[in-house]
Amino acid sequence: MNAPQPLHPGVNLDVTDRKSHEKASEVIFGFWIFLMSDLVLFAALFATYAAMSTQGIAQGPTPSEVFDLGSAFIETLLLLLSSFTFGFAILAMKYSTSRLRLLAWLGVTALLGAAFVAFELHDYYVMIVNNDAWPQTSGFLSAYYLLTGTHAVHVSAGILWMIVLAVQVMTLGPNPLVKLRLLRLALFWHMLDIVWVGIFTFVYLFGVAA
Amino acid sequence: MSWETIFGQLGWDSLVFTGAIKHPSASEFVAFGAGSIVVLGAVAVVVLLTVMRWWGPLWRDWLTSVDHKKIGIMYIVIALVMFLRALIEAGVMRSQQLAAYDSAGYLSADHFGQLFTTHGTIMIFFVAMPFITGLMNYVMPLQIGARDVSFPLLNAISLMLTAAGAGLIMVSLVVGEFSTGGWSGYPPFTGIEFSPGEGVDYWIWSVTLASIGSTLTGLNFAVTLYKKRCPGMDMFRMPLFCWTTLCTSILMIFAMAPLTVATIMLALDRYAGFHFFTNGDGGNMMNFANLFWLFGHPEVYILLLPALGVWSEVVSTFVGKRIYGYTSLVYATMCIAVLSFGVWLHHFFTMGQSANVNAIFGIATMIIGIPTGVKVYDWILTMFRGRIRITTPMLFHINFLLTFVLGGMTGILLANPTVDFQVHNSLFLIAHFHNMIIPGVLFGMFAAVQYWFPKAFGFRLHEGWGKAAFWSLAPGFLLAFFPLYWLGMNGAPRRTVMWADPAFYPWLALAMLGAVLLLVGTVFLLVQIGVSIRQRRQLAVPLGDPWDGRSLEWSIPSPPPAWNFAVVPQVDGRDAFTEAKKNGQAYRSPAAYSDIEMPCNSMVAPLIGIFTFTLSFALVWHIWWLVVVSFIVVWGVVIARSFVAQTNEIIPASRIEAEHEAFLAAARATPGVTRDLEMSPQNRGKAAPDRLGQPGQKRPDDVLESAI
């Protein structure tokens, strides 16, 4: 019963909140497994994109004709920065007694995430207006929109989740349930960063370089 | 508001009954009959529930339950209902092929296409999957000494997603048509250009629901097995069924996602004009083949591994010996799980890769035969010098060993690309995979039901009817599928609605006879359940251990209480319950009882099930307002649930103590029965020590040890 709970990957609450930490191991492990399955989904999308972006161009535009590296760079910065601020949110949850600090960092993170999604939608808009690059144009563009779109849907779901948890922090208080949920959302959010780094590299950089 | 806004593409003509009235033909009447069975069946269930006043208990005790045992039973009920449908479809297809020599037979080609598509889709996603999932749900937590799975509500949600998918496929019998593209749904045939109707959409969404449900199940079971084992239960002390459950769960986590991706892409092609798998504009159907079989091959092992776990449990119990080669069985299971990801290309050897690529995948496929062979030897060696009790599960096991090896041999033949080119898409392939799945998986599940039924319901199944079922199912399988090997080698293609070679006739007739025997065997199984319920007093085994079982689930009452174990057991070896019985540790009162925290019932899962059903039904028929509403409700329910703070209830120690002590007292007061009386009414579920011959003679385990 009183044996120290083992540490799990990611931020641990053992030092400041023993009670939450005791319940963490199982749910956090479960969530890592969910992330793994989600990553398999992205892997399938990446593989599809890899095939389609070279062989599925048909009469449509090529990757280097449609991608705007500058915009993708800004999106990268926004998303990485949001992960950074989420880190501060988690530190605030772990070490600070102020609910406000946690909520403030969550708010900043959500705004950065929303800005990322907005930039991405703007990218789509520009591609369609300038190059007539609809998802229906070619296999390459279908794969591109599905890969980046799935990522954008994940980010949007993350923002919605963040709002729900912010409401729970305000109404239920940062109890163990809410804290563990925030830990899991953090893992989710950081995973989306990693996927985005993959997208930036393999879709945008490779696409423009070729 | 127009009809289209409210009902989408749904119209009176969508009802299966209109077709039979407008264009009467034998084929339409068969569809009419099938639709009527669904409608009448549903009405009968509603009437029965109302007359018996079972709605309340059904909702309170079952649908809202998050108890892994009840969820497991519900999964198996779904599997059995769907099995009956898909089995009848198989019979209909057999009779069409028999009738269609040099004539059109009685089914239209389109109707026949729907039949082989639903037969395959249902048998894989809504029979085999729920059957193994239900079994793992019921047995695995009991075997590792846990009170439930790690995420009980998620478990209920997985069940309801599967149920919604099964419901969708049943509705397709009444409203509209199903896909004609086979269970693997290859585009471009299933694309909008060649299959413009609603059929493929039914396929897409029912399979997608099942696939998401299975992903969540895999996650849940893997976490349970890693985190919820009782003290002392190291990984290498787990019963083998738990090992196979673990490997299956890992396969589910990795393999279901590619299927979801493939079906979603196909949906985007069909609904939004994307070009993933179309013929022109850069689409490439080979991508579908790769994604589908990246799921499809591990899927074969998702189904098979739990059945292999069942065989390990059955053989060691009914031989009364510890399993031979435990460690090698574990490693063999792991090897199969890993290798299963490296062989998907053998499903399309003929689709244009280079010979070298084919050779690599052919060799990888043959290598799987090695760990599988190890397992077969281990089971045979377990029987060596054991006292084999020829019970129904054991009959199925012996039948499995013989026929599975034959099926494996034909698999090795098919793994050779040069052979595969000759028999690809022929009935030889159909014979091969039925030869693996029926004696391996389906009969494995039947054996598991015979074996664990007394645990779940507190009484044994009638042995005579079980044996009768075996003796029609086993020859039925041989007659139904071995002729197909011959037909396939002589060039009979799969999925053929009519044919003209007179040499095929006798073989198709034999196969029909086999199908009839399989139907009869299934009826015997249903009779067995009916008879056993009537004779439940003679067959009662409330003390929980009718077979002299070896693992923890046999140490608790039958049926087990909601909390499974009054006190979490402490284990210090394999075959924990056998050891406890040997050392006199069984049925001892624990030092102290404490309160138990159990999850409360929740209506979240059934709500999600209902609204994912309406969501996918609306997607099939393009009823967009219902799509939006259902989507919002599903996620609204999830969010609302996250605000509920009180999700557990406390069961007081006094109640647990009273129930458990009563059980222990009854167990101590009842004399155990020897294995000779296993099938007699004296068997109340307490086993007497079973020794060979004279007192003092060595027990089977010791005999083998001294032999080695």
Q: Give the residue ranges of DSSP H helices in B497-603.
A: 505-534, 576-582
Cβ distance of B268 and A146 shorter than 8 Å: yes
* Residue environment code for B453-491, b if the CB has 16+ CB neighbours within 10 A, otherwise e: bbbbbbbbbbbebbebbbebbbbbbbbbbbbbbbbbeee
Place of tokens 């399988």: B477
Cβ distance of A44 and B226 shorter than 8 Å: no
Q: Is the pLDDT of residue A157 over 50?
A: yes
C-alpha to C-alpha distance for B540 and B49, rounded to whole angstroms: 26
Q: Which two tokens stand for residue B444?
A: 């494995």
Please, which pLDDT band fits residue A10 given cuts at 50, 70 and 90? confident
Task: Report which secondary-structure segment, H or E, holds B94.
Answer: helix B68-99
How much is the pTM? 0.96
Q: Which two tokens stand for residue A85?
A: 């601020």
Low-confidence ranges of chain B (pLDDT < 70): 691-708
Separation in Å, CA of B71 to nearest CA in chain A: 20
Cβ distance of A48 and B261 shorter than 8 Å: yes
Cα→Cα distances B269→B207, B243, B621, Å: 17, 40, 16
The whole-number pLDDT of residue B612 equals 98
DSSP A200: I
Task: Report which secondary-structure segment, H or E, holds B216.
Answer: helix B199-227
Per-residue pLDDT of B119-138, as tens digits, reads 999 999 999 999 999 999 99
DSSP B239: -
Task: Report which secondary-structure segment, H or E, holds B596.
Answer: strand B596-599
Q: Which two tokens stand for residue A165?
A: 């948890």
The total of other beta-carbon atoms located within 10 Å of residue A18's CB is 11
Query: Would you say B187 and B195 are in contact if contact means Cβ atoms under 8 Å apart?
Result: no
Q: Is the pLDDT of residue A2 over 90?
A: no
Q: How far from the centroid of its chain's Cα atoms is residue B644's Cα?
A: 33
- Torsion angle of the four alpha carbons B113, B118, B121, B126, in this order, in degrees rounded to the nearest 10: -170
Sign of the C-alpha dihedral computed for residues B665, B671, B676 and B682 taken in this order: negative
Contacts of A171 in chain B (CB under 8 A): 643
Domain boundaries, chain A: 18-209
Per-residue pLDDT of A88-129, as tens digits, reads 999 999 998 889 999 999 999 999 999 999 999 999 999 999
C-alpha to C-alpha distance for A5 and A18, rounded to whole angstroms: 9
Residue of A nearest to B640 (CA): A164
Query: Would you say B459 and B539 are in contact if contact means Cβ atoms under 8 Å apart?
Result: yes
- The secondary structure of B50-83 as a DSSP string is HHTT-HHHIIIIIIT---HHHHHHHHHHHHHHHH
Contact residues of A toward B, CB < 8 A: 25-26, 29-30, 33-34, 36-38, 40-41, 44-45, 48, 51-52, 55-60, 135-140, 142-143, 145-146, 164, 168, 171-172, 175, 177, 181
All residues at 6 or more sequence positions from A2 whose CB lies less than 8 Å from its CB, including other chains = none
Per-residue pLDDT of A11-34, as tens digits, reads 888 888 888 888 898 999 999 999
The whole-number pLDDT of residue B693 equals 45
3-class SS of residue B651? strand
All residues at 6 or more sequence positions from A84 whose CB lies less than 8 Å from its CB, including other chains = none
- Backbone φ, ψ for residue B557 (5° rounding): -60, 160
Contacts of A6 in chain B (CB under 8 A): none
C-alpha to C-alpha distance for B182 and B429, rounded to whole angstroms: 14
Nearest to A136 among B219, B223, B275 (CB): B275
The total of other beta-carbon atoms located within 10 Å of residue A16's CB is 13
Cβ distance of B275 and A37 shorter than 8 Å: no
Q: Which two tokens stand for residue B489?
A: 């080698």
The whole-number pLDDT of residue B697 equals 52
C-alpha to C-alpha distance for B291 and B255, rounded to whole angstroms: 10
Q: Which of B281, B292, B647 to mutate to test the interface with A (most CBs of A within 10 A)?
A: B281
Place of tokens 């009842």: B670
Q: How far from the centroid of its chain's Cα atoms is residue B367's Cα?
A: 26
Q: Which two tokens stand for residue B3?
A: 């009809």
Residue of B nearest to A168 (CA): B643
Query: Would you say B93 and B480 are in contact if contact means Cβ atoms under 8 Å apart?
Result: no
C-alpha to C-alpha distance for A189 and A167, rounded to whole angstroms: 18
Pick the CATH number of A18-209 from 1.10.3720.10, 3.40.640.10, 3.40.50.1820, 1.20.120.80: 1.20.120.80
Separation in Å, CA of A179 to nearest CA in chain B: 13
Q: Which two tokens stand for residue A39?
A: 């990553």
Among residues A174, A187, A194, A164, the alpha carbon closest in space to that of A79 is found at A194
Give chain A's count of helices (H) and strands (E). 7, 0
Nearest to B284 among A56, A171, A175 (CB): A56
Q: Is the pLDDT of residue A188 over 80?
A: yes
The whole-number pLDDT of residue A21 equals 87
* Helices B129-143 + B68-99 axis angle, to 10: 150
Residue of A nearest to B251 (CA): A37
C-alpha to C-alpha distance for B508 and B506, rounded to whole angstroms: 5
